[in-house]
Amino acid sequence: MNALHASLLHTPVLAVALTLAAYLAGMAMFERMGRPSWCPGVLIGAVLTAAGLWLLRLDVADYQRHVAALTLLLGPATVALAVPLYQQRRHIVALWRPILCCLPPAALLAALYAVLIAWLLGAPPIVLASLAPKSVTAPLSIGIVEQIGGSVSLMLGGLLITGVLTTLCVSLLARLLNITDPRILGFALGVNGHAIGIVRAFELGPTAGAFASLGMSLTGIFTALFLPLAWRLLGL
Amino acid sequence: MGTVGPQADHFPDGGDMTLLRGFLWLLGFQLLGQLVVEALALPVSHAMAGLLLLLAWLLVNRGLSESVATASQALIPLLAMLIMPGVVGVFFVIDEFAGHWTAVVAALVVGTFLSVLTTLWLMRRFMPREDKGRDAGSRPA
């Protein structure tokens, strides 16, 4: 019995199957709950995966080594993001001026505010590096964190919280500042709240959704280019 | 395509290799990205470089092949599932970052509030007014 358990644990198939099962169950629960914006489906799936690891007495380090057989797909899936960006080229050309004026400072400040606040509160470099790409869509921020030396797990946790907080802040501030333009709201959701912001933007309408996708893609690319460079210059 | 006989079961797509061809293109661009990053010692990830190279290729060729479109439509919806194993790790680093959680939460909450505020302010300042004369909802431009 123990030998069987051990042999199951030493195959990537179990890790991959657990991941797929937890993800599918997590998404089904997310649907059942009425797609709550405060609790992304991925988070439910991650909790279920952690519970599965505990039940199977599978070490998390072993799990992550084995599941690499599946997450290998993250590379080509990230490259594939060039396609939606290419399809949005019309919007980018039509609005190059406001995009050029807004996107670099917005993406830069999204990283800077978080790093500055954490630094003032005495956080070590590894925490700062994990917080810096908090507004960048996960496939790109994983690449960034590997470049600047943060913790992928801490970064992904912060990323999910940032996405949820962005949807709350945009709703609140839109009311306070009396902003109703779906282009502005969508862009703010995408720039700050990555994929979670996009989901919220599509609830506001297709225009907001398109601008959120645009904001997310451009923020990701801009941040992936400037953050490792800034880190190198600061000597962190 | 007439797919009769025992082989039909093995090739349910009737020999349509569009997805595989697109997948190979994506892998090719990722490898090309790796090559460029390593050769020039660039501080970006291999996949990110592959993304930019594919984007440049699409812009230069002014066209998207069916295979690349098919493969990207198949892979992009999987992104959430592919990052989930990384998210699982956060439950196991709680002790590792004990003592820094106040800084992390403050940075996330206050930082996100400030950055949303800044983005909204910048966009309102620089975005041209919506063209009320035309059909505003149909095209965001």
Burial of B78 (0-12, 13-18, 19+ CB in 10 A): middle
Q: Which of A54, A79, A96 to mutate to test the interface with B (most CBs of B within 10 A)?
A: A79
Q: What is the mean pLDDT of chain B?
A: 84
- How many Å is the Cα radius of gyration of chain B? 23
**What average pLDDT does range B112-119 have in this prediction?**
96
- How many Å is the Cα radius of gyration of chain A? 19
Domain ranges of chain B: 1-88, 93-127
Lookup: tokens for A9: 């644990």
Q: A155-214: per-residue pLDDT in tens?
A: 999 999 999 999 999 999 999 999 999 999 999 999 999 989 988 998 898 889 889 989
Report ipTM (2 d.p.): 0.89
B137: nearest CA partner in chain A: A207
Which residues, including other chains, have CB under 8 Å from residue A71's CB and lie 6 or more apart? B82, B85, B86
**Where would I find the H helices in A73-205?**
74-79, 82-87, 89-94, 96-120, 125-131, 138-148, 152-177, 182-204
pLDDT of B134 strictly over 80: no
pLDDT of B69 strictly over 50: yes
Q: B9-20: per-residue pLDDT in tens?
A: 555 555 589 999
Residue ranges of chain A with per-residue pLDDT less than 50: none
> Which positions 59-78 of B are in contact with A (Cβ < 8 Å)?
59, 64, 68-69, 71-73, 75-76, 78
What residues of B are in contact with residue A141 (Cβ under 8 Å)?
none
